[in-house]
Amino acid sequence: MHSVINTCFDEVIWNKLVQSGKKKTFEKGEKILIRGKASPGLICLIKGKVKISSEISNGHERIFGLLVAPTMFGETEAFDSGPCMISATALSKAEISVVALTDIKRLIAENPEIAYFIIQSIGIKLRWTTFQAEDMTNQRVGCRLANLLLGHGKYAVFTYRHDTKVLSITHEEIAQFIGSTRPKVTILLREFARKGFIESRRGEIGILNEKALQEYLEFQQLSDRSRS
């Protein structure tokens, strides 16, 4: 299972990037990147799970992605040498390879396809943030929650069991994704469970009836349009 680069993963290029960097290990809860601090370079996540987030103005955390290895992040900061725009926190023991800008330039000069590989990764992330921003602007909380469950890849939620419809995500993490509160998310998830859309367990949500959940979303969206 690949996350950021799930549609453009190239094992040969990936191995070249990983081998060119410096290996580091982080325990669960440790910060890999800190927003506003200097970027160490391009981060290749070799093993583990990572939360990509930022603290918003009211002091709350806004999650932008839950990623699993193999994937990369920190591309923009690695190229523009600016401070980190996001924070990255290990959700499990994580092994990374940090590729410095000088090594990235050398690799691109030797293998131009690496530039395309990194650009694709940046483009996929831009789609995530655009989708999330549009959802935050145009949808009610219930619709945003349904959208996340139905299209978790668009929301950058990749902590799911391989080949299943079970997301490994907490109510608090969902709230931080969709701009809501944990109590509100819990109420909505209980409603979805009563309707037979999902099965909610501690730290996991199983999608039981995608069709019914999609019909619920479309009905809510139609109702919103009729009111406007």
Task: Give tens-digit pLDDT for 60-109.
Answer: 788 888 888 999 999 998 888 889 999 999 999 999 999 999 999 999 99
Integer Cα distance of 97 and 24 in angstroms: 6
Domain-embedded: residue 2: no
Could you tell me if 28 and 113 lie in one domain?
yes
Residues in the chain, pLDDT under 50: 1-7
Could you tell me if 102 and 160 lie in one domain?
no
Could you tell me if 28 and 112 lie in one domain?
yes
Residue 105's pLDDT is: 93
Residue 90's pLDDT is: 96
Domain-embedded: residue 3: no
Domain end call among 102, 132, 162? 132
Phi-psi region of 196 (alpha: psi -120 to 50; beta: other; left: phi over 0): left
Residue 4's pLDDT is: 45
**How many folded domains does the chain comprise?**
2
Residue 110's pLDDT is: 92
115: domain range? 11-132
Domain with residue 82: its CATH number is 2.60.120.10
Strand partners, 178: none
Integer Cα distance of 101 and 68 in angstroms: 23
| DSSP element (H, E) containing 133 | helix 113-138
Domain-embedded: residue 77: yes
Integer Cα distance of 13 and 8 in angstroms: 11
Q: In sequence order, which residues have a C-beta less than 8 Å from that of residue 32 and are 6 or more positions away?
A: 26, 43, 50, 88, 89, 90, 94, 96
Domain-embedded: residue 25: yes
Residue 1's pLDDT is: 42
Q: pTM for the full model?
A: 0.78
Residue 18's pLDDT is: 95
Query: Exposed, middle or buried by CB within 10 Å (0-12, 13-18, 19+), for 104?
Result: buried
Could you tell me if 125 and 155 lie in one domain?
no
Could you tell me if 69 and 28 lie in one domain?
yes
Three-state secondary structure readout of 66-122: EEECCEEECHHHHHHCCECCCEEEECCCEEEEEECHHHHHHHHHHCCHHHHHHHHHH
Could you tell me if 88 and 175 lie in one domain?
no
Could you tell me if 128 and 151 lie in one domain?
no
Could you tell me if 94 and 183 lie in one domain?
no
Could you tell me if 169 and 104 lie in one domain?
no
Residue 40's pLDDT is: 93
Domain with residue 222: its CATH number is 1.10.10.10
Domain end call among 107, 132, 157? 132
Query: Exposed, middle or buried by CB within 10 Å (0-12, 13-18, 19+), for 211?
Result: exposed
Could you tell me if 120 and 23 lie in one domain?
yes
